[in-house]
Chain A
Amino acid sequence: MDWSQSLRLIAPEETLTIAGLVLLLVAAWAGDKAARAITWVAVAALAGAAAFVVPALCSGATGPDTVAFLGQYRADAFASFAKLLIYGAAGASLLIAPVFFQRYQAYRAEYPVLILFAALGMGMMVSAGDLITLYIGLELNSLAAYVLAAFLRADDRSAEAGLKYFVLGALASGILLFGMSLTYGFTGTTSFEGIRAALDGDLATGALFGIVFMLAGLAFKISAVPFHMWTPDVYEGAPTPVTTFFATAPKVAALTLTMRVALDAFGGQADAWRQIVIFVALASIVVGALGAIGQSNIKRLMAYSSINNVGFMLIGLASATHSGASAMLVYLAIYVAMSLGGFVGVLMLKREDGEQVEAISDISGLSSTRPGLAAALAMIMFSLAGIPPLFGFWGKFVVFQAAVQADLIALAAIGIAASVIGAFYYIKIVKIMYFDEPADVVKGRSDWIHQGLLCLTALFISPLGYFLTIWLGGLADTAANSLFPAI
């Protein structure tokens, strides 16, 4: 084993670790006065880490050269693609936070540090080549996330969100660990490569149980039905920048991790887990769509929307093919932009005194009072509903294309028909903003960071996004190649 090689491969993790530890010390001595400066340094650290992963993605790194620490860790193109999305989403969650917390006099220097550690954990999740790395990354991310959810100490809802997330997250970790131990017991190894080789041929019932329990644990992390119950409560209770973070970065990490586990470790047994994934996908689409209809809080609605979107992405996983994996990555990239834009838009809904507006009824008639913001939100809603020519359609398109190519036509037909249910609540938001009389509640102004991020994401999901399809599809294909070395 070549230590220097391994240490070079984990450069992004090293950057984040060192930055996180140093900033923690700075925070301890300089106190909360330095919080803003620490935020900017943390963003710079994320950008630096991102710069380290770009070459691996562009060169399509795969194979033994990308394996560090005896197969524990992989710095391949697939991990790099996911890391770019994670670091980008984490950076955005940092940028939008100070203004929000300032209002509650609650911006503390721990916030950027916790985000950095969470990003570090997520980086390890997506790079995991072994069950142990997987679990450590997952827990590092989760522990940081539990604290972040409860970050507004004075707010009961935030504390409740943190506690709920912690209890249910611990339960899910337990389920996952149980599955991992079964898998280890029946395969005799914790490395993905070894598991794949050991599971070749007939599947033992115990190993099947291992697969089921591991997928159940992961389904909790990606908030797929039937393990989605925590999502609306946590999304609603957590401070909005933290919700933004939850809806984007950990989603990417958990989904790509699920892909790696399903397609790599259990790749030879796709027929064993396909029906589970199909059920989870369809259930997520339907429950996400139906659950959102009755919501009166926009953050809860976005939570159901994310459940719904995860369902669509899992359709790509169910196909268990290269094009399915590539389609999921494309969808993830678009989904991150849509969620980011959606939550930044929600953050910009403020009363005159700066108080956040979360009730859907309060944004009625927004298009006459704040036309730009309303137009951006309407675009995001239509895009989430998957109506062309907005870019959200493209994500659904590639996923369904992969499903049809894999001969899962019934799944594709049911899934797309269920998307019409989802369209109902998205267009309801548009109706409230455009057709109803102005409630004239949203009057507060936002700073340039929010406006810039909203413009950027809105441009990305606008029809202009289609000009990126060749580039994005190419990158996703390269990344997916790492999961399917044969191709």
Chain B
Amino acid sequence: MADFPILSLMLAVPLVAALICLFVEAKGARTIALAATLVDFALGVLLWANYDIGGAQWQFTERVELFAGFSYALGIDGIALMLIMLSVFLMPICIGASWKSVDNRVGEYMGSFLLMETLMIGVFTAQDLFLFYIFFEAGLIPMYLIIGIWGGAERIYASYKFFLYTLLGSVLMLIAMLWMVNEAGTTTIPVLMAYDFPPGAQTWLWLAFFASFAVKMPMWPVHTWLPDAHVQAPTAGSIILAGVLLKMGGYGFIRFSLPMFPEASLEFAWLIFVLAMVAVVYTSLVALVQHDMKKLIAYSSVAHMGIVTIGLFAFNVQGIEGSMLVMLSHGLVSGALFLSVGVIYDRLHTREIDRYGGLSINMPKYSLFFMLFTMASVGLPGTSGFVGEFLSLAGIYQVSTWVTLVAATGIILGAAYMLYLYRRVIFGEQKNEDAAKMPDLDLREWLMMGPIALAVLWMGVYPESFLAPMRADIAALDARVARVKPEGDSLLKLAEPAIEGEATESDDHGEEPAHGGAH
């Protein structure tokens, strides 16, 4: 197993399938796409099964000197493993979600999605700075086509906005990368993660990377591309955007900003906190007044990602672990919510909340699933949302009680807009006849919703499965940023509790049993 290039195979399977899809008929393309994504999922499971928890930091490494200036170097740690699992898990569901709803240019559609899968896995596996950049940027092309060709009425505006926003964000990162490589003399990410850049330069480098990741994440005020892109993209496109593409921003902060520029990260933590606090409160309030279901979920994504960024810049293990879990959970839950919207959109072809109502009468099974995902989005204990959000807030509490206070209102507001959405769509009178006639879930929809629901519950009940592979890597990151760890305001009262506080910090998994008790 050690020498088998499983990561390359995971990149190659969807790529080859994408090329084949371009040349076959609609039915063949669907089958090939589903088969390829399932094979990749199986490979992903194999990868997880063979991942040696507590082993080397970087596993399954491959390195071939294929190109001038950078090398084809792959390898994963626990953080990357989890994000790869999220990608390969969501991809077959995306293909399933577009099985019937996409009927023009199916070959190109499936090809774009499979290409997207290759690029997403590439982003999380790349161990070379420029290889990472190429995978990171290349995703623009298929996503531009997916939104532009198969999207809704305003698709062209949305696709331009998506493309140009993200491009502008990431080109400055390229210059920063070139400077770093020039300075450090290597393109290997693990080496760069341990390299100490001069603090003066870190400021600029951090800002350049921030420009890219803040747009990708997205953070207020550069989040405006997201509601447009999400609303206009086809269902599967929204799932991938919310489920995986947004995670690239968080992954970038974990992989680059924090370990490579720790001093600058501390310097700008206030900026992150302010932007994220605004995001949490403001976008939650915006979500509350939406009439369009997809737009509501899109704004809720911005709010959730705000909590992720706050947790990352807590500079402690709880915060970062919590952020990772929120990212994984949000990937599943927002994907599932977009899927839920897609299910009823396929039936009635509208996303207007007012056009629905009383679905619990004619679609009870759908209502059940939708409720589970709503609760997970709210962060109810027992679902995946709770664990991550609790850990993030616990992490940030050690740094700033005020930030925690504001961020926690996001959870209350989240409950407000999600429950309000659920009430309007599922409960109440059946005021629209056509909505009242919609049939309940069919087998295909069961097969898509079921696995996500199981994963959401699994992560809520036993998060240890997901935390275990990442623990060592997050501890390593924590050790890396330890030298800039900010003084927390919640430990100021007495000397005695401060020592106790530190003791709990070093014993960073003391809260695990508490979560076990939460279900």
Contact = CB atoms under 8 A, between A and B. Distances in A.
Interface in B230-281: none
Contacts of A472: 68
A387 B137 contact: yes
B222 to A, nearest CB: 14
A466 interface: yes
Given A382-B141, A470-B67, A416 B167 contact: no
A440 to B, nearest CB: 16
Interface in B137-163: 137-138, 140-141, 144-145, 148-149, 155-156, 159-160, 163
Interface string A137-158: 0000000000000000000000
A103 interface: no
A427 B155 CA distance: 14
A397 interface: yes
A427 B171 contact: no
B171 A388 contact: no
Nearest to A414: B175
B465 interface: no
B172 A416 contact: yes
A393 interface: yes
Interface in B97-151: 105, 130, 133-135, 137-138, 140-141, 144-145, 148-149
A443 to B, nearest CB: 20
B179 interface: yes
B179 A409 contact: yes
A405 interface: yes
Contacts of A397: 69, 130, 174
Contacts of A430: 144-145
Contact of A424 (B66, B138, B164, B179): B164
Contacts of A435: 148-149, 155-156, 159
A434 B141 CA distance: 12
Given A413-B172, A431-B159, A467-B66, A401 B164 contact: no
Contacts of B289: none
B175 A409 contact: yes
B134 to A, nearest CB: 4
B138 A388 contact: yes
B178 interface: yes
Given A423-B167, A427-B144, A431-B148, A469 B67 contact: yes
A419 interface: yes
B69 A469 contact: yes
Interface string A408-449: 010011001101100110010011001100000000000000
A420 B149 contact: no
B56 interface: no
B438 interface: no
A379 to B, nearest CB: 9
Nearest to B66: A467
A243 B130 CA distance: 35
Interface in B289-336: none
Contact of A401 (B67, B69, B138, B167): B69
A460 interface: no
A198 interface: no
B168 A420 contact: yes
B150 to A, nearest CB: 10
B175 A412 contact: yes
Interface string B50-85: 000000000000000011110000000000000000
B21 to A, nearest CB: 13
A434 B145 contact: yes
Given A469-B68, A469-B69, A416 B141 contact: no
Interface in A351-383: 368, 382
Nearest to B165: A420
Interface size range of chain A in the complex: 20 to 34
A405 B178 CA distance: 8
Interface of B is mostly: helix
Interface string B157-192: 001100110011001101100110010000000000
Interface in A224-268: none
Contacts of A387: 137-138, 140-141, 167
Contact of B175 (A368, A400, A423, A434): A400
Nearest to B208: A413
A420 B140 contact: no
Contacts of B135: 389
A388 B141 CA distance: 9
A404 B156 contact: no
Interface string A440-478: 000000000000000000000000001101101110000
Contacts of B68: 469-470, 472-474
A427 B144 CA distance: 9
A400 B69 CA distance: 13
B174 A427 contact: no
A170 to B, nearest CB: 40
A393 B178 CA distance: 14
B138 A423 contact: no
Contact of B134 (A368, A388, A416, A474): A388
Contacts of A118: none
B182 A405 contact: yes
A398 interface: yes
Contacts of A388: 133-134, 137-138
A188 to B, nearest CB: 41
A274 to B, nearest CB: 19
A409 B167 CA distance: 19
Interface in B380-436: none
Contacts of B69: 397-398, 401, 469, 473
A419 B172 CA distance: 11
A400 B160 contact: no
A128 to B, nearest CB: 29
A388 B130 CA distance: 10
Contacts of B145: 430, 434
Contacts of A409: 175, 179
A417 B134 CA distance: 17
Contacts of A473: 68-69
Contacts of B160: 424, 427, 431
B178 A412 contact: yes
Contacts of B163: 423, 427
Contacts of A382: 141
B66 to A, nearest CB: 7
A423 B161 CA distance: 12
B133 A420 contact: no
Contact of A417 (B144, B155, B172, B178): B172
Nearest to A405: B182
Contacts of B179: 404, 409
A417 B171 contact: yes
A435 B144 CA distance: 10
Contacts of B105: 368
Contacts of A434: 145, 148-149
Contacts of B159: 431, 435
Given A431-B159, A470-B68, A404 B178 contact: yes
A473 B149 CA distance: 37
Interface in A282-337: none
A423 B140 CA distance: 12
A389 B178 contact: no
Contacts of A401: 69, 178, 182
A400 B174 CA distance: 9
Contacts of B133: 388
Contacts of B67: 466-467, 469-470
9 contacts: A382-B141, A387-B138, A389-B135, A405-B182, A409-B175, A420-B167, A423-B164, A473-B68, A473-B69
Given A416-B172, A469-B67, 9 more contacts: A388-B137, A393-B137, A400-B174, A401-B69, A420-B168, A427-B160, A434-B149, A467-B66, A473-B68
Interface of B: 66-69, 105, 130, 133-135, 137-138, 140-141, 144-145, 148-149, 155-156, 159-160, 163-164, 167-168, 171-172, 174-175, 178-179, 182
| 4 pairs of A and B residues whose beta carbons are closest in the complex | A473-B68, A469-B68, A388-B134, A404-B178
